Amino acid sequence: MAKPDPGTQGPAGPPAHPQKDWRDELPIKLPHNPVVLEEQERRAADLQLRIADWITGFAGSMNFVYLHIAIFTIWMLFIESKPWPTLTLIVSLEAIFLSTFVMIGQNRQAAFQQAKADRDFNQQELELKTNTQLTREIDRLTTELHSRLIGKGGGRRPSTP
């Protein structure tokens, strides 16, 4: 059985110096990708998109579930007797609308992913072009330096000891 390192143990056994979690060193708010910020601004500017986002956010929450449990229980116990035809109609209509909001969310996510992919592609192409230019410049400077050094030495290579 391996013994713990005495340098990491305190008198009672736990570590003398608690390990810092790497997440403690991160800034409180990480910067967002510019595409994310553009998409947030675009969605905030459109009232219909804000409403759709709010409905989708609420429909995907536990508050939505709790509200439906309460409404369905009250409906089935006090408002309508079996087999609950009106409740069935309401739930079916709600499912139609909620599935529409899910599709709106999926379309929004697909558009966001496409915008991010386009931006990433453009950045990578720019980096490739810059790296190619830098590599060519390094090659040119290396060749020029080499020719100057060889030209000064009369074309002789230094001898190795």
Mean pLDDT over each residue of the chain, to the nearest integer: 80
Q: For residue 130, what pLDDT band results from cuts at 50, 70 and 90?
A: very high
Q: Does the pLDDT at position 128 exceed 70?
A: yes
pLDDT digits (tens, 9 = 90+) for 2-31: 555 555 555 555 555 556 665 566 556 667
Rounded Cα distance, 27 and 32, in Å: 12
Assigned domain for 74 exists: yes
With 90 as the cut, is the pLDDT of residue 144 above it? yes
Looking at the domain assignment, is residue 10 inside a domain? no
| C-beta separation of 158 from 73 below 8 A | no
In a domain, 159, yes or no: no
For residue 158, count CB atoms less than 10 angstroms from its CB and return exposed for 0-12, middle for 13-18, buried for 19 or more. Answer: exposed
pTM over 0.75: no
Q: What does the DSSP assignment read for 38-70?
A: HHHHHHHH-HHHHHHHHHHHHHTSHHHHHHHHH
Flag whether 64 is in a domain. Answer: yes
Rounded Cα distance, 96 and 91, in Å = 9
Judge whether 156 lies within some domain.
no
Does the pLDDT value for residue 160 go beyond 70? no
Residue 155 zone, left/alpha/beta (φ > 0; ψ -120 to 50; rest): left
Please indicate, yes or no, if residue 38 is contained in any of the structural domains.
Answer: yes
Residue 50 is encoded by which pair of tokens?
A: 């804000």
Per the structure, the complete domain to which residue 73 belongs is given by: 32-149
The one-letter code for the residue type at 132 is: T
Q: Is the dihedral of CA 92, 94, 96, 99 positive or negative?
A: negative
Query: Looking at the domain assignment, is residue 63 inside a domain?
Result: yes
Give yes or no for a contact between 38 and 118, defined as CB atoms under 8 angstroms apart: no
Q: Which residues contact 42 (CB under 8 A, 6 or more apart)?
A: 49
Is residue 72 predicted with pLDDT exceeding 80? Answer: yes
Q: pLDDT grade, residue 118 (50/70/90)?
A: confident
Query: What is the CB neighbour count within 10 angstroms for residue 101?
Result: 19
User: Is residue 57 one of the residues assigned to a domain?
Assistant: yes
- Of 35, 94, 24, nearest in space to 65 by CA: 94
C-alpha closest to that of 105 among 47, 45, 60: 60
| 53-62 mean pLDDT | 87
**Separation between Cα atoms, residue 112 and residue 118, nearest integer Å:** 10
pLDDT category at 44 given cuts 50, 70, 90 is confident
Question: Residue 67 pLDDT > 60, yes or no?
Answer: yes
How many folded domains does the chain comprise?
A: 1
